[in-house]
Amino acid sequence: MKFAKMHGAGNDYVYIDCFSQVVPDPERLAVEVSDRHFGIGSDGLILIEPSAVADVRMRMFNADGSEAEMCGNGVRCVAKYAYDHGLVDSLRISVETGAGVLPLQLFTNSRNKVDRVRVNMGKPRLSRGEIPMTGSPDEQAVNVEVTGLDRTFHVTCVSMGNPHAVIFVDNVHEFPVAKYGPALETHPLFPNRINVEFVEVVSRTELKQRTWERGAGETLACGTGSSAVTVAAVLNGHCDRVLVNHLLGGDLEMEWTEDGHIYMTGPAVQVFEGDYQPQ
Q: Is 18 an active-site residue? A: no
Report the distance separating Cα 124 and Cα 177, nearest Å.
24
The active-site residue out of 77, 157, 222, 239 is 222
Report the distance separating Cα 79 and Cα 82, nearest Å.
5
The active-site residue out of 18, 71, 157, 239 is 71
Q: Is 222 an active-site residue? A: yes
Catalytic center residues: 71, 222
